[in-house]
């Protein structure tokens, strides 16, 4: 019994090539590493010719071309197999060619190179179904080959030795052809790799096949694959000419948003026509009740073996079962050639004996299915595409830690990011262009599996070395650009993602970059069910940039995040949980899930502090466009401006925002100006749909926002389910908790662990990391540990703190459980009263829900850390909650040099009651008010758009920031309008809980006269009040447009160059230099009466005010420029690295 197993042409080619050449593994060097190269493209299976006109058109002089050295390489056009353990060529294979006139070593005008080439849509025999079929390449309609010359003698097509004819006589062949849909192509859910030709409503589609020579009374098989979309059951009818073949029933669909958008029906019909005229016409008619689509229409026939006007492939199922056969070709001629192309890379020229009756006899082996090409040289075609290819060699390089795949267009930006990761993160990084990967691993075709195969080669070469893959470019679900939303150049600049086979169900269809991280032998096929739950071996991320400018923006943000943009502060331990409100079928599910996550990251001595922004806790407004919650929009924006390590959203959403109440919109995202960039985790539908060229999703805008937004997003590209969202969300925070124990984790590691621990069939596959997987989260890698409270060692017994008691806290900075004795800086201490118990409002489908949150700080201050240890002291306010309960201390430490930051918490504390030894205090606090800086005097003038109220406060026992007492907050009024509580803006001076500062910023105050009034209370509830008048002028605000500091890093001296908008004004510029603990080490003042721009002359030589040199390390500079004419002020902050 003969048999071709179900295979693609890659498997056949590799099997034959391995037998002939003994190829055992990947080549150590790419064939593209040496020599000149041309890349040619073809779209149809057949014979092709490279003649003198071809080489001249490619700019190659014939005088220097030795035809004996012409070589052709290529692997055919079928899509690469997904399964890792399936055979595939290990590099580009050389193809045998026929070269006329090469023996003289010259390429003359009449010489030519002939070769066989196969379309990207191969035909193969399915032995199970016992018929031929084909496979449409979903990624491209072009097969590529590579031509070189001048290196070595090329492989040539050999001629089969003459054998006497014997065996069965074959005069017919089995033909197979198919219609490739080419009308109005559509994808019903804009997702998945399957595209359909739209037929319309109640219309008929006729497809003609030019098939002369069909054998009368032979059986023909017609395979029809159609789809319909209707709310009732519908039907297709298929005809062969006027003969009805049968019907195809299409089940109905519903109008539910997340239901299947169409139904497929695949059926094979048979017909035995007595006579056949060419062309054969097949007609499809569809019901008038729905929309009809065509996916596939193919025809298998028996045809006469004879000469036709076009080259054609022939094969015989009858011959495959014989030991030897004789093919008899009618109407043969002397110019006719027959090549055995069973092995696509090594065709063999067959001897044909021509009789006087123009009958050609071909003696051949049987035993298995063979394919032959019958043609004459004048029928050869020219390639469709010709481009030059530079030398390249991806296969000989060492394995990196981080692999970046980028379009060549913005490779310079990818290299800039790679250089930063090499120097800053000490990672081995390799940047390659997507086209280089295609050339070596997919024979030039844009196949996403080529990227996976390349990553797998590196992964296997040095196990454990490759950890991260960054896809540096946008993607499209429309691989072939059917929608014409991209130009050819824009399409070439995409880096493909994996699109599911499922293309009709909006939830079960998905796109995913996980595919590139499945590197084990048994992985890759990725069935769309739970059996396809592969695990990631590396962390994969994507930067969905569409231009060189967007690429520059994102790289700027990544570099800024890791250096000056990291902005030390306890924002790096804060996580905001935003949750949607009611769901008709699952009340409170989003808020409940968010609260479970918040509890997960807050347990024990976790340094993370959860902020809970639950929609049902806020007042909503009803208008013509439905419910809105503007207070939530404002709260989210405030959280971003204050800084959050992570912003987590759970609930309904879409490409353009969060929640039906639109708590985040595209307009919000574009307006964000936050310097502290969070990682967003969005468990909502389609917010991160990065592969639709027809839109830019909210997640993409947040990442691409040059002035704010996010630094990365773990987000969804398709609709998702709340239940599986929670699985992934929970796995993320479990991975975060485990990995932060030893320092700042990299996003790729977090995503890899998250995905592997939340497997749920196809439902979580479209969660994608839009970000750099090699980026370290801005999380403090060291631990701030509380060791004593009021002289007692912390431990299992809870310590009790009471109102008006003087509290002494001692602690140290540790890493790996050991004291970091070199740590010098300062630590911020925040003590919270018992967690508040809150209840949501119970609106819509959300019944009231109780939850807890630490919202009542009793003390916020900062103390010095010396040699890794610190001591802090303060008086607890009278306004605490007198019931005894568990409080919590949060610690955040910043070093004065380049050492690591530290964070921690401690919750084994009881707070309640009153101290029996409290002393009396009746003196109120002292208040001093300023605008912009402490030189401001009452009634002075400032200009916009930003103005800062500075409040200096002092009291012998400290200032009250507790909010348990009614009316005892820090409150300010501007022109006696709505009061603003500013407790959270108060920070004590270092090592002095009795003094501190409030800084509160007004944005865009209109010109005019203002009075600000502030009221404060000390911890004994003694009040004080102060006011200040100021004028906002109409003159534009003073602005420092740019500041250049060179050199930086520096050894001897660094120079400041300031561009500003007040040339000719009288300006006073103060340069302040501070270490990372905030200690001022030097201060200089520069004045000019008729100032120029740029302003120069400010320098710093690395010395303190005393003249002594500072220690090596990072320092913060602050420039304060003040106009003497109207008092307006501009400030600028940056960092310097002193390396002497």
- For residue range 624-670, list pLDDT tens digits in order: 878 899 999 999 999 999 999 999 999 999 999 999 999 999 999 99
Confidence of residue 21 (pLDDT cuts 50, 70, 90): very low
Provide the percentage of residues in the chain whose pLDDT is more than 70.
Answer: 97
User: Does 940 lie in the same domain as 1009?
Assistant: yes
Is-contact 616 840, C-beta < 8 A? yes
Q: Give the residue carrying structure tokens 């006899």.
A: 361
Confidence of residue 1039 (pLDDT cuts 50, 70, 90): confident
Please report how the helices 747-756 and 722-739 are oriented relative to each other, as an axis angle in degrees rounded to 10. Answer: 130
Structure tokens at 11: 């498997």
For residue 526, how many other CB atoms are within 10 A of its CB? 21
Is-contact 677 702, C-beta < 8 A? no
User: Does 154 lie in the same domain as 214?
Assistant: no
User: How many angstroms separate the CA atoms of 291 and 239, rounded?
Assistant: 19
User: How many angstroms separate the CA atoms of 44 and 311, rounded?
Assistant: 11
User: Does 1120 lie in the same domain as 1097?
Assistant: yes
For residue 708, how many other CB atoms are within 10 A of its CB? 19
CATH number at residue 1074: 2.60.40.4070
CATH number at residue 941: 2.60.40.650
Is-contact 1014 1027, C-beta < 8 A? yes
User: Does 216 lie in the same domain as 130?
Assistant: no
What's residue 569's pLDDT?
85
Confidence of residue 20 (pLDDT cuts 50, 70, 90): very low
| DSSP state for residue 1005 in the 8-state scheme | P
Structure tokens at 137: 């390449």
| DSSP state for residue 450 in the 8-state scheme | H
Structure tokens at 311: 């080259």
Distance of CA 76 to the CA centre of its chain: 31
What is the H or E stretch that residue 412 is in? helix 411-424
What's residue 17's pLDDT?
35
| φ and ψ of 823, to 5 deg | -80, 120
Is residue 920 domain-resident?
no
User: Does 63 lie in the same domain as 160?
Assistant: yes
Is residue 158 domain-resident?
yes
Checking if the pLDDT of 26 tops 80, the result is no
**Non-local CB neighbours of 759 within 8 Å, separated by 6+ positions:** 530, 533, 535
Is-contact 567 550, C-beta < 8 A? no
User: How many angstroms separate the CA atoms of 160 and 525, rounded?
Assistant: 39
Distances (CA, A) of 176 to 118, 125, 212, 313, 605: 15, 10, 13, 9, 70
Structure tokens at 449: 């599996």
Range of the domain at 1109: 1040-1138
Is residue 70 domain-resident?
yes
**pLDDT tens column, 414-423:** 999 999 999 9
Mean pLDDT of 530-540: 89
Is the whole model's pTM more than 0.95, yes or no? no
Number of domains present in the structure of the chain: 7
User: How many angstroms separate the CA atoms of 43 and 748, rounded?
Assistant: 39
User: How many angstroms separate the CA atoms of 135 and 151, rounded?
Assistant: 36
| φ and ψ of 631, to 5 deg | -65, -35
Confidence of residue 836 (pLDDT cuts 50, 70, 90): very high
Burial of 1052 per CB tally in 10 Å (0-12, 13-18, 19+): exposed
Where among 882, 913, 944 does a domain terminate?
Answer: 913
Is residue 541 domain-resident?
no
CATH number at residue 479: 3.40.50.10390
| DSSP state for residue 819 in the 8-state scheme | E
| DSSP state for residue 69 in the 8-state scheme | G
**pLDDT tens column, 170-202:** 999 999 999 999 889 999 999 999 999 999 998
What's residue 966's pLDDT?
81
Structure tokens at 1077: 């603990």
Least reliable range by pLDDT among 315-329, 609-623, 732-746, 1046-1060: 732-746
User: How many angstroms separate the CA atoms of 762 and 750, rounded?
Assistant: 20
What is the H or E stretch that residue 88 is in? none
Is-contact 121 134, C-beta < 8 A? yes
User: Does 427 lie in the same domain as 322?
Assistant: no
Is residue 539 domain-resident?
no
Burial of 898 per CB tally in 10 Å (0-12, 13-18, 19+): exposed
| φ and ψ of 735, to 5 deg | -65, -40
Smallest CA-to-CA distance from 51 within 145, 158, 147, 144 is with 147
Burial of 745 per CB tally in 10 Å (0-12, 13-18, 19+): buried
For residue 338, how many other CB atoms are within 10 A of its CB? 22
**pLDDT tens column, 436-464:** 999 999 999 999 999 999 999 999 999 99
Mean pLDDT of 320-349: 96
Checking if the pLDDT of 1128 tops 60, the result is yes
User: Does 442 lie in the same domain as 398?
Assistant: yes
Checking if the pLDDT of 1047 tops 70, the result is yes
CATH number at residue 887: 2.60.40.1930
What's residue 727's pLDDT?
94
Q: Give the residue carrying structure tokens 């967690």.
A: 835
Confidence of residue 1126 (pLDDT cuts 50, 70, 90): confident
Is-contact 663 629, C-beta < 8 A? yes
User: How many angstroms separate the CA atoms of 230 and 216, rounded?
Assistant: 39
Is residue 3 domain-resident?
no
User: Does 423 lie in the same domain as 313?
Assistant: no
**Non-local CB neighbours of 619 within 8 Å, separated by 6+ positions:** 629, 631, 841
Q: Look at residue 427 and give its three-state secondary structure.
A: coil
User: Does 203 lie in the same domain as 151?
Assistant: no
Confidence of residue 536 (pLDDT cuts 50, 70, 90): very high
Smallest CA-to-CA distance from 431 within 495, 505, 500, 481 is with 495
User: Does 956 lie in the same domain as 939?
Assistant: yes
Q: From the CA atom positions of the chain, what is the Rg in Å?
A: 37
What's residue 25's pLDDT?
55
**pLDDT tens column, 62-85:** 998 999 999 999 999 999 999 999
CATH number at residue 607: 3.40.50.1460
Preceding amide of 1047 cis, omega within 30: yes
Burial of 542 per CB tally in 10 Å (0-12, 13-18, 19+): buried
- When comparing pLDDT for 844 and 789, which is higher? 789
What's residue 564's pLDDT?
65
**pLDDT tens column, 108-163:** 999 999 999 999 999 999 989 889 999 999 999 999 999 999 999 999 999 998 78
Is residue 747 domain-resident?
yes
Is residue 708 domain-resident?
yes
Checking if the pLDDT of 6 tops 60, the result is no
Least reliable range by pLDDT among 569-578, 830-839, 844-853: 844-853
Handedness of CA 596, 597, 600, 606 (dihedral sign): negative
Structure tokens at 1001: 């910023």
Structure tokens at 1095: 């302003």
| φ and ψ of 551, to 5 deg | -60, -45
Where among 388, 403, 433 does a domain terminate?
Answer: 388
User: Does 182 lie in the same domain as 155?
Assistant: no
**pLDDT tens column, 1054-1075:** 999 999 988 888 999 999 999 8
User: How many angstroms separate the CA atoms of 1060 and 1094, rounded?
Assistant: 7
Distance of CA 368 to the CA centre of its chain: 47
Confidence of residue 898 (pLDDT cuts 50, 70, 90): low
Where among 887, 913, 939 does a domain terminate?
Answer: 913
Confidence of residue 275 (pLDDT cuts 50, 70, 90): confident
* C-alpha count within 13 angstroms, C-beta hemisphere, residue 671: 10
User: Does 901 lie in the same domain as 946?
Assistant: no
């Amino acid at each position: 019994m003969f048999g071709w197993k179900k295979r693609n042409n890659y498997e056949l080619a590799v099997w034959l090539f391995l037998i002939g050449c003994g190829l055992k593994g990947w080549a150590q060097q790419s064939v593209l590493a040496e020599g000149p190269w041309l890349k040619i493209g073809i779209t149809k299976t057949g014979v092709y010719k490279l003649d003198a006109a071809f080489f001249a058109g490619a700019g190659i002089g014939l005088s220097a071309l030795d035809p004996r050295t012409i070589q052709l390489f290529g692997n055919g056009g079928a899509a690469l197999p997904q399964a890792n353990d399936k055979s595939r060529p290990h590099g580009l294979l050389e193809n045998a060619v026929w070269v006329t006139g090469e023996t003289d070593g010259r390429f003359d005008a009449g010489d030519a190179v002939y070769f066989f080439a196969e379309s990207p849509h191969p035909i193969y025999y399915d032995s199970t179904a016992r018929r031929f079929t084909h496979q449409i390449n979903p990624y491209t309609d072009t097969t590529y080959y590579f031509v070189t010359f001048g290196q070595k003698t090329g492989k040539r097509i050999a001629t089969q030795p003459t054998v006497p004819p014997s065996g069965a006589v074959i005069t017919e062949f089995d033909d197979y052809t198919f219609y490739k849909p080419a009308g109005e192509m559509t994808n019903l859910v804009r997702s998945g790799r399957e595209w359909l030709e739209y037929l319309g409503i109640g219309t008929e589609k006729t497809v003609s096949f030019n098939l002369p020579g069909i054998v009368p009374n032979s059986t023909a098989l017609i395979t029809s694959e159609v789809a319909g979309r209707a709310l009732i059951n519908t039907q297709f009818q298929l005809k062969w000419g006027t003969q009805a073949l049968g019907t195809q029933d299409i089940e109905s669909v519903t109008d539910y948003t997340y239901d299947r958008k169409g139904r497929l029906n695949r059926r094979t019909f048979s017909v035995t026509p007595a006579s056949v005229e060419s062309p054969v016409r097949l007609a499809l008619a569809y019901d008038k009740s729905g929309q009809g689509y065509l996916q596939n229409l193919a025809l298998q026939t028996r045809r006469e073996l004879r000469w036709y006007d076009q080259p054609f492939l022939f094969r015989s199922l009858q011959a495959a079962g014989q030991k030897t056969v004789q093919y008899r070709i009618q109407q043969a001629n002397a110019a006719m050639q027959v090549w055995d192309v069973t092995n696509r890379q090594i065709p063999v020229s067959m001897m044909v004996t021509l009789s006087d009756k123009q009958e050609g006899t071909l003696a051949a082996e049987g035993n298995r299915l063979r394919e032959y090409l019958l043609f004459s040289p004048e029928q050869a075609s020219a390639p469709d595409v010709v481009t030059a290819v530079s030398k390249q060699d991806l296969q000989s390089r060492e394995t990196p830690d981080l692999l970046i795949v980028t379009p060549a267009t913005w490779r310079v930006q990818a290299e800039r990011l790679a250089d930063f990761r090499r120097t800053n993160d000490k990672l081995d990084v390799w940047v390659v262009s997507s086209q280089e990967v295609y050339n070596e691993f997919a024979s030039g075709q844009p196949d996403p599996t080529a990227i996976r195969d390349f990553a797998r080669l590196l992964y296997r070469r040095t196990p454990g070395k490759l950890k991260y893959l960054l896809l540096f470019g946008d993607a499209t679900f429309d691989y072939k650009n059917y929608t014409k939303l991209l130009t050819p150049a824009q399409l070439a600049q995409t880096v493909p993602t994996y699109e599911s086979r499922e293309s009709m169900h909006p939830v079960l269809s998905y796109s995913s970059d996980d595919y590139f991280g499945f590197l084990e032998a048994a992985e890759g096929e990725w069935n769309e069910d739970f059996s396809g739950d592969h695990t990631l071996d590396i962390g994969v991320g994507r930067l969905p940039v569409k231009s060189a400018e967007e690429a520059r923006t994102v790289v700027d943000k990544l570099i800024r995040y890791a250096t000056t943009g990291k902005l030390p502060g306890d924002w790096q331990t804060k996580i905001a949980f935003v949750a949607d409100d009611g769901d008709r079928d699952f009340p409170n599910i989003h808020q409940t899930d968010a609260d479970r996550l918040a509890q997960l990251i807050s347990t024990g001595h976790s340094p993370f502090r959860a902020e809970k922004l639950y929609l049902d806790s806020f007042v909503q407004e009803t208008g013509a466009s439905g419910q809105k919650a503007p207070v939530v929009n404002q709260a989210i924006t405030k959280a971003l401006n204050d800084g959050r390590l992570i912003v987590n959203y759970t609930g309904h959403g879409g490409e353009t925002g969060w929640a039906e109440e639109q708590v985040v919109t595209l307009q919000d995202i574009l307006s964000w100006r936050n310097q502290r960039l969070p990682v967003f985790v969005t468990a909502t539908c389609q917010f991160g749909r990065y592969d639709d060229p027809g839109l830019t999703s909210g997640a993409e805008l947040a990442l691409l926002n040059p002035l704010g937004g996010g630094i990365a997003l773990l987000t969804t590209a398709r609709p998702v389910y709340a239940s599986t969202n929670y699985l992934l969300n929970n796995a993320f925070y479990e991975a975060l908790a485990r990995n932060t124990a030893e320092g700042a984790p990299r996003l790729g590691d977090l995503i890899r662990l998250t995905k592997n621990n939340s497997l749920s069939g196809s439902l979580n596959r479209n969660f994608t990391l839009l970000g750099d997987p090699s980026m370290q989260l801005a999380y403090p890698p060291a631990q701030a540990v509380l060791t004593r409270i009021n002289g007692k060692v912390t431990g299992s017994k809870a310590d009790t703190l009471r109102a008006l008691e003087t509290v002494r806290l001692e602690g140290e900075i540790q890493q790996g459980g050991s004291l970091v004795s070199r740590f010098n800086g300062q630590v911020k201490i925040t003590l919270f009263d018992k967690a508040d118990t809150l209840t949501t409002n119970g609106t819509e489908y959300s019944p009231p829900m109780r939850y807890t949150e630490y919202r009542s700080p009793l003390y916020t201050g900062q103390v010095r850390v010396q040699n890794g240890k610190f001591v802090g002291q303060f008086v607890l306010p009278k306004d605490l909650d007198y019931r005894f309960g568990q409080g919590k201390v949060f610690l955040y430490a910043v070093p004065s040099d380049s050492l690591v930051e530290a964070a921690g918490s401690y919750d084994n504390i009881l707070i309640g009651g009153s101290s029996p030894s409290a002393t009396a205090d009746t003196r109120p606090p002292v208040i001093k008010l300023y605008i912009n800086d402490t030189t401001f005097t009452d009634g002075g003038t400032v200009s916009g758009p930003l103005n800062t109220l500075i409040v200096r406060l002092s009291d012998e026992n400290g200032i009250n920031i507790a909010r348990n007492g009614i009316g005892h907050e820090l409150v300010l009024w501007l022109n006696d309008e709505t009061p603003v509580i500013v407790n959270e803006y108060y920070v004590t001076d270092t090592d002095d809980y009795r003094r501190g500062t409030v800084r509160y910023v007004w944005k865009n105050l209109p010109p005019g006269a203002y009075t600000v009034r502030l009221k404060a209370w000390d911890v004994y509830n003694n009040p004080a009040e102060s006011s200040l008048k100021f004028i906002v002028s109409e003159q534009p605000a003073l602005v420092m447009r740019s500041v250049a500091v060179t050199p930086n890093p520096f050894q001897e001296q660094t120079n400041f160059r300031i561009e500003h908008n007040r040339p000719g004004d009288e300006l006073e510029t103060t340069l302040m230099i501070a270490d990372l603990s905030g200690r001022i080490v030097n201060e200089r003042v520069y004045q000019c009466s008729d100032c120029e721009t740029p302003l120069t002359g400010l320098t710093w030589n690395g010395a303190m005010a005393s003249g002594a040199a500072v220690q090596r390390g990072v320092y913060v500079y602050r420039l304060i420029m003040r106009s003497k004419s109207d008092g307006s002020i501009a400030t600028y902050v940056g960092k310097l690295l002193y390396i002497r």
